[in-house]
Structure formats: structure tokens, C-alpha cells
Structure 1
């Protein structure tokens, strides 16, 4: 990992977790910014220092219904050894505007891997017609989360573009869909480039109880 050695480093491998921030744990890996992680004694967070996280994930998920796959890579301070081009999209990490003051102590510091999305494009695959929204909004990059939180109006339009539109459940705050429905094409614009969901089946999440819902869900109107 870029010449950095971590003797006896423990990395958790889980498929679900319920981290309540009890002042002892730091999630699964503990990579994050001091204002929000709980890698401190007690329950009070010291925001006087800022340790910039340089963790890079490259995830290679197996195909749908496959039980085995190549896994992925975790790199610190360098790019993982995966194929890539030299055509880069660059976005700065910014201060998360929607965090309450009780989490940050009222200080404008970087707390999450937050960047600004330049726009979203989507449309039904059956007619190849796309709709684009160029309204910018913030998102927190979370490679371990199966949901994509988008502004309410955008999330609603995307879920209406499923071959059978999703039905919003206010209590669960998700759009329930047929498990065999075809999701729309979905692309996120960053730095003049649009990144498309190559594996459309990941836009449908199958609950342990057998229900299916869209992985695109609404959040605040102007935040991600």
C-alpha cells in the first residue's frame, strides 16, 4: 500500500452492520475524517485536527446470481492495480453543507467524502430517449452503500422511468418495484463526463423478505 506497512491490521468483512457510534468502533475499516468517526476515547469528538483520508477502493462485484467472483482492491495513497484510461474526471472534496452543527461543532471542516454532482441523465432503455437535469447538488461518496440518494424531484423522475414505475412507500422511504422490471439507464455527470450504471440490475435491490425496491431513493431537495 504505497510502501506503508500495517502490521496486524484487522479488516472486517461483513454484509451488513449497525454502527451506532459508541465512542469505540470506527465502522468496518475506520477510514474517515475525525469530525464523524468514533475513533476517540469517550463520546466527545475532537475537531481540532483533520486527517485527510487517502483511501481508494476498486470494487469488482460478481455478476447477478453468481456466488463467486474476483472481489476487489483496497489501496492507500495510490491507485489499485486495475485497468484504466488516462482520461480523468476530477472533483474536489468539499465541506458537507447539510450536516447539523452538533456533529461538526459549528466548524466548516471536511467531514465526509463529499463532492458536487454536475447533473444526472436517465431514460427508458426501450426507446433510448434521455432526460437530463443539470442542477448541481452534493453527494457523499459511500462505496459500501447499495442505495443512491438523489434530490427528491430527480429520484421521482428516475423511478417513473422504470418499465413499470416504482411505487413510493412513505414509511420505508423507498420505491417498491417488480423484481423482474427493467430499470432505466442512469448516468451521473462529473467534471464534464457522464458515468453510466453498466450493470443495470444493481438499480434493483432485493430485500431479505423477497420484496424488491429501487436503489434510487430521495433525500433533501437540494442535497445528496
Structure 2
């Protein structure tokens, strides 16, 4: 991943990883095309390495209910794995083991494939697929295929993410360990990549439903038409009775270092208000996707801005996206409410805001409960300018104004304020509020 200093984005919506971390809502297979028009899409260009991370605790912890007992019907997990904050807290990764080799991978609830970059892969330009050096894709260590991997003949991997990055490769089975649970799992090895990495992660673990998997019949990605749906890693685990059919995330707002947990089968080892609000997971109705469970889609009652209630709607809960994507009038109202206001810059594709601005009071109302967003999460450090001054952007971005086509997302800006339980067995999302907790977020 190119390090951040100045946000220069290629489309109308802020959605690239790096400044805002959009790598989740996948499009149809198209390794030589840009992002799907169904999803927010852009990419980061011309970024330098100067950062500003002051590393102090911006807030002290308020009163916390200590996490000692099972909250309601959600058990405490015995299989948790830590999250690592990358790119100023805009991306979160965890350890995964393929065979005997361990890697950092992005944790993504907005896609379903688990994959690693294979040693010797071809890196290409995201815009025109021109060949680049491996280093230009900014992966961490790559996977050396060993005897435990077994390729599936007649299948290939082919995915395009919402920010335009695309990958192709082979499908196969490998012994995979995540959070202490080992399974024989169908995975992808990437041998052709247009990727804007972070120099740490080597791939991704997708935790959404099987309908979003990206294996296809045949060996030529240019001819892919028949999807070969398979069991994602977490489904493999719970169908083998290795864990309960739910997982949870506690994403912290630290801009570097250890920053929360992914917990399989229960809740993570963090403090939170043990009072869950539940809401059904909805069948995906986005044009071009199967009418079945795919994304973790929920109904939002309303967006609470100060004393005003703004329109709600259908949102995807996505750990692979940093910002919250909301309808155009909602985004405009929220960004006007900063003091001084956040101002949209067409060249940069973001609502730029004074790093010391006062953020508005913002809450997301779900199933009758309002979950407030900490002001620290409303202003994101996006790097520095040529003079070394910090550049900040709003945590809320325009997701479009057509609910039948546009995708609205509750990203990490929201999820840093809750424990999110993805209860596949009950077909429900459950949320419990986090109290203020210490972090090294400078704003």
C-alpha cells in the first residue's frame, strides 16, 4: 500500500483502501475492467510516505461493564484472534496460517473468499493491466506452495473489488488455521494481481455468505460465466461443528498496532455494554447479485444528526470499508454540520475537514436503539501535504441517491463504536455499544 500524504482519487466517490479502505463489495468477474458501477469506486494515486501519528491517548476510558459473563444468548468466544491496525487505522488485519506458513490478511465481512498472493505472481497496473514489478503491488510475504496444497482442476479465481482492484488465480484446498481452528479449506492463490497493498498483508479472509464466492468453471478468467459456489472458511468451520455459527468483531480506533479482535463462536475479550440490539440479516437485492443471503445487510431506522432524524434505509455492515456511505442528502447534511463544515473537493473526491473541527453528534438508529459515533471517528487523518500539515477527511461520504442501485455501507467508522455479532445461525446482526476507551487516534 502506498503510504498516505495527499488524497488524489480517480472517481466521484471516496472508496479506495488507503485513505478510506474500500475493498469489499465485489463486482462480477472482470479482471480487465474497472469497478462495478453498482459500488463506490476509486483508487489512490501519488501518495507519499510522510505521516502524522502522535500516539497519545485521545480519550480516557469511561465506566465500563467488565466482560466476565455471557451477554444474553451470545457466548464468550474461546477462539479469538487479534486485529492489527494499518494505514492510520483505515484497515484491519489478522494472522492466518496456510500449511505451515503464517501471514497477515485483511479481515473483510463484505466478501467471501480467502486468498493469498502466490510467490512469483504477476503484478499489473490497475488502470490498463500493464505489467509491473511484484513490489508495485505492495503485498507482504507471498505464499510458497507446498505439498499440503491441492489444486482443483478446471476452476479459476476471478474477482474485482469495489475500488477497481482485480485478481485472478487458481483454486485449491489447503490446511488453514484461523483463530486456533484448523480446517481443510477451499482457498485461492493469486497469480495475477492489480493491487494497491500496504506492504504488510498478503491476502484477505472473507467472512460473508457463499453466494459471493469467486470461483469459476474453466481455466481462462477472460471466459468466466459459470460461478462455482463453495463454502467460505467460517461456514466450513461451523458446519463441521468446530464453532457456533456466529462470529463477532471489536474494531478499535487505534491508528497503529494491536487494535481489537475477531472472535469465532462468541464475543471478543473486550469491555462493552452487555445489552445487545438484534436486527434481521436481509436477503441481498442488489441488481446483478443472486437474490439470497450474500452481504450482511440490515435495515437502519434513521440517521440521528443532532436533534434531527434523517432517512434510514438498507445498509451493508462491512469491515473492509473504512467510511460510512450514506444517501446524498444525508451525507450533505452531516458534512455541513461540522464546525467549520467539511467541504467536498471534486479533485480529491472527499469531504476535506479541518483536523481540529468540531464533529456533529451522529447516531445510527437500528431496531429502535441509537448507536452514537465517537467524534474521533468522524475525522480521519489522511496524511500530510507537501508542507507537512495534516490532512483530514470526514468519516461520512456520499453513497448516491438511488436506493435501487446505490450501496450504503456501515464501515469501520461505525463499527469502532460497537461490538458487532454476525449471527449466521439466527440470521441476525447483533450490536452492543462500546463505551469510550483509550486509543492513539490523534484526532
TM-score by length of 2: 0.41
The answer as to 2:100 corresponding to 1:12 is no
Asked whether the 8 Å contact 1:117–1:136 carries over to 2, the reply is yes
Q: CA deviation digits over 1:24-78, x for unaligned, max 9? A: 369522322233243667655324878757331112333x7xx66x631111121
Structure 1 58/189 Cα, relative in aligned 2: closer, same or farther at 3 Å? same
Q: Give the Cα–Cα distance (whole angstroms) in 1 for the partners of residues 367 and 319 of structure 2.
A: 19
The answer as to 2:206 corresponding to 1:30 is yes
Q: Give the Cα–Cα distance (whole angstroms) in 1 for the partners of residues 295 and 167 of structure 2.
A: 15
Q: Give the Cα–Cα distance (whole angstroms) in 2 for the partners of residues 56 and 187 of structure 1.
A: 21
RMSD of aligned C-alpha atoms?
A: 3.4
After superposing the two structures, state which structure 1 stretch, 89-98 or 49-58, moved more.
Answer: 49-58
Asked whether the 8 Å contact 1:116–1:137 carries over to 2, the reply is yes
Which residue does 1:61 correspond to in 2? Answer: 253
Which residue does 2:344 correspond to in 1? Answer: 168
Which residue does 2:228 correspond to in 1? Answer: 46
Greater fraction strand: 2
The answer as to 2:302 corresponding to 1:119 is yes
Structure 1 47/206 Cα, relative in aligned 2: closer, same or farther at 3 Å? same
Q: With a CA cutoff of 8 Å and minimum separation of 6, indicate the structure with the bigger relative contact order.
A: 2
Q: By how many angstroms is 1:3 displaced?
A: 6.9
Q: CA deviation digits over 1:115-171, x for unaligned, max 9? A: 111111113xxxxxx2112x3311111234321101110010000000011111234
Alignment gaps of 5+ in structure 2: 1-76, 81-95, 108-137, 140-162, 170-187, 191-202, 236-244, 386-390, 409-443
Alignment of 1:94-113 (within 5 A): 94-98=282-286, 100-101=287-288, 104=289, 107-113=290-296
Q: Give the Cα–Cα distance (whole angstroms) in 2 for the partners of residues 196 and 216 of structure 1.
A: 14
Which residue does 2:372 correspond to in 1? Answer: 196
Structure 1 209/86 Cα, relative in aligned 2: closer, same or farther at 3 Å? closer
SS of equivalent to 1:155: helix
SS of equivalent to 1:118: strand
Structure 1 132/209 Cα, relative in aligned 2: closer, same or farther at 3 Å? same
Q: CA deviation digits over 1:181-207, x for unaligned, max 9? A: 111111000111100012x12211222
Structure 1 2/188 Cα, relative in aligned 2: closer, same or farther at 3 Å? same
Q: Give the Cα–Cα distance (whole angstroms) in 1 for the partners of residues 313 and 322 of structure 2.
A: 19
Alignment of 1:133-152 (within 5 A): 133=310, 135-152=311-328
Which residue does 1:87 correspond to in 2? Answer: 275
Asked whether the 8 Å contact 2:214–2:228 carries over to 1, the reply is no
Structure 1 12/32 Cα, relative in aligned 2: closer, same or farther at 3 Å? farther
Q: How many residues align?
A: 206
